[in-house]
Chain A
């Protein structure tokens, strides 16, 4: 993991999440802004996948379980897709709230992934 990238990823996911929640509760159906923000979060996860694959070759090895790390990463990549699908089945304010929930979940998962990669107590 690259620390600044993790910080950026979490920051973007939190901002996108809060943006979607606020607009959703304000009654807005998903639009370019909220769907775009969720897409950016998803693209950052794909970039994270590439980084995770390349990093060990550059001497950046995970200190925790690589398998556990990838389980989190794959689940994280699936969630915005699943959330996006479920949100757009029916387009209303709740669709936007759903996107927000998905983005916030990603922020939490990226923090967990960073802990698995960098901080091991045992």
Chain B
């Protein structure tokens, strides 16, 4: 389990990316690919029609990429980046999720579903994963930080 001492010493991978954390990394990576590629497509084609949600989509894509990297790489700096990006996602999905209900014309892209962001309606278009993921991510970060005190040797 996650509390096990890693078998190989001096790993290039952080303890955040061990055990269950590895599953978290792949989910983040998939979401990063999804959100970023979709935003790039939207910016290239229909940006004028919905600049606000598309800019937000691009921003969320970049944040997911950063979070993925921050979960994998060792060190205190990346740990901080992980906390910041994952907190940002939670705020994003709560704020944009709420705004998409209150002001659907802007944040949900009106009638055209494809204008919505990854965070619209709390991430319903992505099976609510954008809502669940930052919460799971923060629980995981807290847990690895707690157990990390005993595993400091594994991280440079």
- Tell me whether chain A's interface is mostly helix, strand or loop, or mixed: helix
Selecting from B23-31, B51-59, B84-92, B142-150, the interface stretch reads: B23-31
Q: Which residues of A contact B29 (CB under 8 A)?
A: 82, 86
Report if B45 contacts A (CB, 8 A): yes
Report if B95 contacts A (CB, 8 A): no
Q: How large is the interface on A (under 10, 10 to 19, 20 to 34, 35 or more residues)?
A: 20 to 34
Within A49-102, the residues touching B (CB, 8 Å) are 65, 67-68, 71-72, 75, 78-79, 82-83, 86-87, 89-90, 92, 94-95, 97-98, 101-102
Give 14 CB contacts A-B under 8 Å.
A65-B41, A67-B41, A71-B40, A71-B41, A78-B33, A82-B29, A83-B26, A83-B30, A86-B22, A86-B25, A89-B13, A98-B23, A98-B26, A109-B34
Q: Which residues of A pack against B, CB within 8 Å?
A: 65, 67-68, 71-72, 75, 78-79, 82-83, 86-87, 89-90, 92, 94-95, 97-98, 101-102, 105, 108-109, 122
Q: Which residues of B pack against A, CB within 8 Å?
A: 13, 18-20, 22-23, 25-27, 29-30, 33-34, 37-38, 40-41, 45, 112, 127
